[in-house]
Chain A
Amino acid sequence: MNVTRRQTFMLGAGAVAFATLGSQATIAFASEESDKLIAEFSGGKEATAGKIKLKAPEIAENGNTVPISFTVDSPMTADNHVASVMLLALGNPGPAVGTFNFTPMSGEAAASTRIRLAKTQEVLAMAKMSDGSIFMDKKTVKVTIGGCGG
């Protein structure tokens, strides 16, 4: 195949454009499925950083069981509390990990659990407050041995 100088240049420009787009997409969110889950959870609202704190190990030796915990800063009263928190493992074949629903009786919106991570990836936690506002936090976890089997 003959590639002219002009075509080469255009290819290069295209690649650069694609790369920028791509990296932006990963900053925002990884895959289509997680995009969908996030949209469903947030109701299309923009997520802001803060309030929620995700705790995850920097390096997980075994991806089959990675301890994850989060806390959300909230007074947890009847009209101002955390309604739910969604956890996503952005690099898993199925990104959804779980949704945790809180009530004012929780006293404090905090939970820990153990999750599977297929490979090194970002874990995202998103909190929905009773007034509908959305907060999120992200952590990258390096995985030495993948979970999820198969």
Chain B
Amino acid sequence: MAKSKPRVKVPKKAAKGDIITIKTLISHKMESGRRKDKKTGELIPRKIINHFKVEFNGAEVFSANLEPSVSANPYMQFKAKVTESGTFKFTWTDDDGSVYSTEKKIAVE
């Protein structure tokens, strides 16, 4: 299957105490486990990203448990309050155990 490539948008700079918006998207088919193979008529096994987690300087900010009803290429937009400069770490966990992750730095003045 195609490699899952995460894409994340975090503002580069923010003022102390600002609530910033973070947008993330990861390419993934999110096979629901309910679709049938057109040729064989057999169910295609479920393979989705079941967990998404965001940490800032090691502390959890936001996380989500995802189910098959989430669209392909799961998109997430959420907020975070920043009080210091640091690094956001984003982690996606696949049904098959693979983990995709990426990091983004932010400077807080």
Contacts and interface: CB of A to CB of B under 8 A. Distances in A.
Interface in B59-75: 59-75
Interface stretch (B78-86, B89-97, B100-108): B78-86
Interface residues of B, number: 30
Nearest to B43: A150
Interface residues of A, number: 36
A111 B62 CA distance: 10
Contacts of B32: 94, 116, 148-149
Given A93-B34, A101-B62, A149-B32, A110 B70 contact: no
Nearest to A69: B77
Contacts of A105: 56, 59-61, 80-81
A97 B67 contact: yes
A120 interface: no
18 contacts: A94-B68, A96-B69, A97-B67, A98-B65, A98-B66, A98-B69, A99-B64, A103-B59, A103-B62, A107-B19, A107-B80, A108-B79, A113-B70, A115-B71, A147-B71, A148-B32, A150-B34, A150-B36
Q: Kindly list the 8 A-B residue pairs having the minimum CB-CB distance in the complex, ordered from nearest.
A: A107-B81, A149-B35, A107-B19, A96-B67, A114-B71, A65-B71, A97-B69, A111-B78
